A = this chain, B = another copy of it.
Amino acid sequence: MKPRDTRVKPGSRVSLADWHTDGDAFVGKDKAASMARLDDDRVRLEELQELLYAEGKHRLLVVLQAMDTAGKDSTIRHVFRGVDPLGVRVANFGVPSTHELRHDYLWRVHPHVPASGEIAIFNRSHYEDVLVPRVNGAIGHAECERRYRQINDFERMLSETGTTIRKFYLHISKDEQKKRLEARRDTPKKRWKFQPGDLAVRAQWDDYRAAYDALLSATSTRHAPWHVVPADDKLARNLIVSALLIEALEGLDMRYPEPVAGVAGTPII
């Protein structure tokens, strides 16, 4: 098992079987203390977002990918609760429409990247295009490799033009997914989330895991690193994502802009 570091080292070969799905190595046993830490993190994230927006210089792109039920929606809800919605936009990428398929696969994501001062969260992303078609055999090995390179080029350009990128793979075990699907099936208030297609995708678990191993190996770069976040425990998952985003934003060395000269002496009538 890997140590506490969640970051996929650029150029390394990932086998998700070697990575924790439980969060024990990352958070303590004291649940109340962990929840208090998450509250503190939210406050800090809110401050940093305000500074990001005020300075209007940097952009933060957060990419979330995961197997079904790993908690992408829930992570967004818990980590970004309290952050000004004006400065955070979530873009959901589902099955591409006929219209979208008539374009290159980066066409539908590019309009949603963050502007200066913004945080954008991709709830699924262009990475779906090296997952579903790969598993279904719609694209072969060579095309998949080509897409990795195209994605790396695209993200490098975004990074070079002022966007900080953090990508999170929310990592759950097959057993944990079973429990969550059963809960959806058996809990009246959760049943609407249960899609017949979920089981078909679960049946391809090993194929998707192999596709994730390959994409995490190929597309974790210095400019746009992947983090494998243990997600069997929701609180640990949220704490890890918060901490990594705070670290990324603090690394930008942001400052509030200077007031316009003369403003200080302007009478308020």
A residues with a Cβ closer than 8 A to B are 56, 99, 102-107, 110-111, 113, 115-118, 146, 150, 153-154, 156-158, 160-163
Contact = CB atoms under 8 A, between A and B. Distances in A.
Contacts of A110: 106-107, 110-111
A56 B116 CA distance: 37
Contacts of A99: 115
A52 to B, nearest CB: 12
Contacts of A102: 56, 115-118
Contacts of A104: 113, 157-158, 161-163
12 contacts: A99-B115, A102-B117, A103-B115, A104-B113, A107-B111, A107-B113, A110-B111, A146-B160, A153-B153, A153-B154, A153-B156, A153-B157
Contacts of A56: 102
Q: Which 5 A-B pairs have the closest CB atoms?
A: A104-B161, A102-B115, A153-B153, A102-B116, A110-B110
A111 B113 contact: no
A104 B160 CA distance: 9
Contact of A154 (B111, B117, B157): B157
Contacts of A163: 104
A254 to B, nearest CB: 16
A156 B150 CA distance: 9
Most buried by B among A105, A107, A158, A163: A107
Nearest to A99: B115
Nearest to A100: B115
Nearest to A118: B102
Given A102-B116, A104-B163, A105-B161, 18 more contacts: A56-B102, A99-B115, A102-B115, A102-B118, A103-B115, A103-B116, A104-B158, A104-B162, A106-B157, A107-B110, A107-B111, A107-B113, A110-B111, A150-B153, A153-B153, A153-B156, A153-B157, A154-B154
A150 B160 contact: yes
A117 B102 CA distance: 8
A202 B35 CA distance: 64
Contacts of A105: 161
Nearest to A115: B102
A206 B68 CA distance: 59
A157 B158 CA distance: 15
Contacts of A116: 102-103
A71 B163 CA distance: 37
Nearest to A106: B157
Contact of A113 (B103, B118, B146, B161): B103
A229 to B, nearest CB: 27
